[in-house]
Structure 1
Amino acid sequence: MRFSILVAAVLATGLTLPALAAQTLVPAKSRLGFSFQQMGVTVDGGFKQYSAQVNFDPAKPETTQATFSVDLASIDVGGPDGNAEVRRKAWFDTAAHPKATFTAKSVKALGGGKFEARGPLVIKGISRDIVAQFTAKPAGSDLVLEGGFPVKRLQYRLGEGAWADTETVADDVHVKFRFTLTGKPGQ
């Protein structure tokens, strides 16, 4: 069984943009995934359902508004047993905490089409500030944001009890995302 944890975190993901968004996330062209080590073996997983409210202009990143929400029950760690396990109380506790969110509080250009978003990632009611680095590239009439960020699963109480042993499941989780946006940023 694979017990993936984390990352919804991602939720987060990756980066988020707020509510009066002019751009729309294109789920069919987007993905939100993560990887971690379990007993020394890399495990990859992802989330199938997430949404975003986005207003991002690469020419004016400081005006960004973004919020991402991840349906934690949509996690896929490669099999039904692992998927059921990570929904339980010791992991994501999706009955009590069905969503993870990330809200970009600041976004700045790093140069060369690279950006950095900072803000709170909330999982299981626990809020921690994260930094997500990403690129922004046009793809036809769309804009593709691709990047990632690290998460320490134990900071979010992901894998409690016997699962807190980092020899079994590592504390480090890497969230990776590719969000395709359509539409123009509003002013």
Structure 2
Amino acid sequence: MIHRFTATATALAFATLAVPAVAAPIDPAQSEVKATFKQFNVPVSGNFTKFTGDVQFDAAKPANTKATLNVDTASYDLGDPDYNKEVAGKDWFDSKNHPKAVFVITGVTGSGNNLQATGDLTIRGIKKPLKFPVSIQTAGGKHTFTGKTQIKRLDYKVGADGDWGDTSLVADEVVIDFKLVMPAK
């Protein structure tokens, strides 16, 4: 049960993360979205294995960045099929009724590697604003966007009911790490 909660929290964390990029699709084979939460104060991590997105990015005008990241909430992988099924279930992501978590980037501020992305994260039909630092590297004909942010799972009603709502069992904070790779244009 504890591991199941952990998987759900991690999945939510990944669902919330989206990164600015170029007017191109994200390459899922080279990209990753990871969510880490604490269960009984022990870090538990999992990866979302299915996500899609596209980004419009101009290195000369990062403020014009627009992006959308769609994360398949049932794809959160904690390394155990039973845990994965639990976090996709009604108490956590409720993937049957909310199959996607969506992050839409509405802007980027800053310059160089000191950038802040802003947008809206929607999980379980609940939309919240999100702001986080992002780093962009261009090499080998590709843009790589990396970042990390923290969300509160209970803000999105993930694991909010029953024993899982007790944050001494599963922490409210979920850290989302991401690396999104796309072709540079």
Distance in 1, Cα, partners of 2:79 & 2:16: 19
Change in Cα spacing, 1:22 to 1:105, as seen in structure 2 (3 Å) is closer
More helix by share: 2
Per-residue deviation at 1:165?
A: 0.7
Per-residue deviation at 1:27?
A: 1.1
TM-score, with structure 2 as normaliser: 0.91
Q: CA RMSD in A?
A: 1.5
Spell out structure 1 runs of 4+ moving beyond 4 A.
none
Per-residue deviation at 1:123?
A: 0.3
Match of 2:116 in 1: 116
Match of 1:12 in 2: 16
Question: Unpaired segments of 5 or more residues in structure 2?
Answer: none
Distance in 2, Cα, partners of 1:138 & 1:89: 40
Question: Unpaired segments of 5 or more residues in structure 1?
Answer: none
Distance in 2, Cα, partners of 1:112 & 1:22: 19
3-state SS in 2 of match to 1:102 = strand
3-state SS in 2 of match to 1:11 = helix
* Aligned residue type for 1:13: L
Per-residue deviation at 1:116?
A: 0.9
Change in Cα spacing, 1:98 to 1:52, as seen in structure 2 (3 Å) is same
3-state SS in 2 of match to 1:5 = helix
1:16·1:103 contact (CA, 8 Å) conserved in 2?
Answer: no
Change in Cα spacing, 1:8 to 1:139, as seen in structure 2 (3 Å) is farther
Identity of aligned residues (%): 37
Per-residue deviation at 1:5?
A: 2.1
Quick check: 1:35 aligned with 2:36?
A: yes
TM-score, with structure 1 as normaliser: 0.90
Per-residue deviation at 1:183?
A: 3.6
Per-residue deviation at 1:56?
A: 1.1
Across the two proteins, how many residue pairs are aligned to each other?
A: 180
Moved more, 142-151 or 51-60: 51-60
Change in Cα spacing, 1:85 to 1:16, as seen in structure 2 (3 Å) is farther
Distance in 1, Cα, partners of 2:128 & 2:23: 27
Per-residue deviation at 1:121?
A: 0.2
Per-residue deviation at 1:78?
A: 2.1
